[in-house]
Amino acid sequence: MNKVMLHVIETRNLRKAYGDFVAVDDVSFHLLPGECLGLLGPNGAGKTSTVRMIYGFSPMTDGELQVFGLDIRTDWRAIKARIGVCQQENNLDPDLTVIQNLQVFARYFDIPKAAAKAKAGELLHFIALQQRQKDTVTNLSGGMMRRLVLARALINDPELLILDEPTTGLDPQSRHQVWERLEELRANGLSILLTTHNMDEASHLCDRLIIMDHGKILVQGKPSWLVREYAGRDVVEVVNPSDELRSFVRTQPFMHDDLGRRIIIYGQEGEELFERIGRHFCKDDCIMRMATLEDVFLRLTGRELRE
């Protein structure tokens, strides 16, 4: 195997500054071939700024960024020819029909007409929109548009697919439709980089996650490992906790968040501890559940609103 393809994406101390504001601050990570890597973070964490540098849309301010072993600053055109991108907005071409959206886009990659036609047909089948190929895109539903954006990103048979919040604003049915398509692509070995703030999406699709905030990487790892490491195995949520519980929790070694009206206790192995809490401190207002990625996310990025 070629040395340069060890990493599909490799960044070292990648930075993006807009004037005084640093949107991406010394970010270093890599993406392995065939891997689905998720960038997870609240609004304004620097996810979109990061991926925009990777697909050659925004010039980087500082650091190193290689895609397919090529430098984005010098080989941007060669890199962009091998990437498929779903940007955050549905920027389909409203002046064109469904099929024309694919065929005209294929031209931007210099794909010959016959090959583009065949590929467009195949992709419409893949996203189940063959029946609508002559429709203008403004007549499509939100979910259909998103699927078409995905198909458009695949027109050049990319080796890397970059998805910027692929399912934001979709209803659950449409979201699962998109996920199914993505799972199929992943199973076929396509390398995927996606940004999201949807925890289900992250744990559903990603082999590995990077949680970002304020332009920095907080943690990275497999979703299950992150949950175990940062939120434990089980969680007890106690509504209107008593003072006894508060002081009890403080004396114990396990992680907890005191939100005032609610205490969230993260248990590692401690089934006994949990039983004790259940027996002694809970009347009706205790919930015991599995720890989730959302716990990890909120613990690491805080609970304040991001606006």
Q: How far is the CB of 23 from other proteins (least distance, A)?
A: 10
Neighbour-count burial of 262, counting CB atoms closer than 10 A to its CB (0-12 exposed, 13-18 middle, 19+ buried): middle
Token output for 107:
């031209």
Looking at 188-242, list the stretches that DSSP marks H as alpha helix, in order from N- to C-terminal side. Answer: 199-205, 223-231
Does position 100 interact with other proteins (CB under 8 A)? The reply is: yes
Does position 71 interact with other proteins (CB under 8 A)? The reply is: no
Q: Which is nearer to other proteins, 18 or 225 (CB)?
A: 18
Q: How far is the CB of 87 from other proteins (least distance, A)?
A: 6
Exposure string (b/e) for 218-248, b if CB count within 10 Å is 16 or more? Answer: bebbebeebbeebbbebbbbbeebeeebeeb
Binding other proteins by CB under 8 A: which of 29, 105, 281, 297? 105
Does position 57 interact with other proteins (CB under 8 A)? The reply is: yes
Contact in structure between 7 and 66 (CB atoms under 8 Å): yes
Q: How far is the CB of 25 from other proteins (least distance, A)?
A: 16
Q: How many residues bind other proteins (CB under 8 A)?
A: 33
Q: How far is CA 264 from CA 26, 160, 235, 280, 287, in A?
A: 33, 39, 7, 16, 9
Instruction: Count Cβ atoms below 10 Å from residue 292 Cβ, excluding itself.
Output: 16
Binding other proteins by CB under 8 A: which of 4, 5, 13, 93? 93
Does position 168 interact with other proteins (CB under 8 A)? The reply is: no
Category of 56 on φ-ψ map: left (φ > 0), alpha (ψ -120 to 50) or beta? left
Contact in structure between 211 and 295 (CB atoms under 8 Å): no
The residue range among 3-11, 58-66, 183-191, 221-229 that interacts with other proteins, by the rule CB under 8 A, is 58-66
Does position 81 interact with other proteins (CB under 8 A)? The reply is: yes
Element (H, E) at 124: helix 113-126
Q: How far is the CB of 102 from other proteins (least distance, A)?
A: 12
Does position 32 interact with other proteins (CB under 8 A)? The reply is: no
Of residues 107 through 166, those in contact with other proteins by CB under 8 A are: 107-110, 152-153, 156
For other proteins, the binding residues (CB under 8 A) are 18, 55-62, 73, 77, 80-81, 83, 85, 87, 89, 91-96, 100, 104-105, 107-110, 152-153, 156
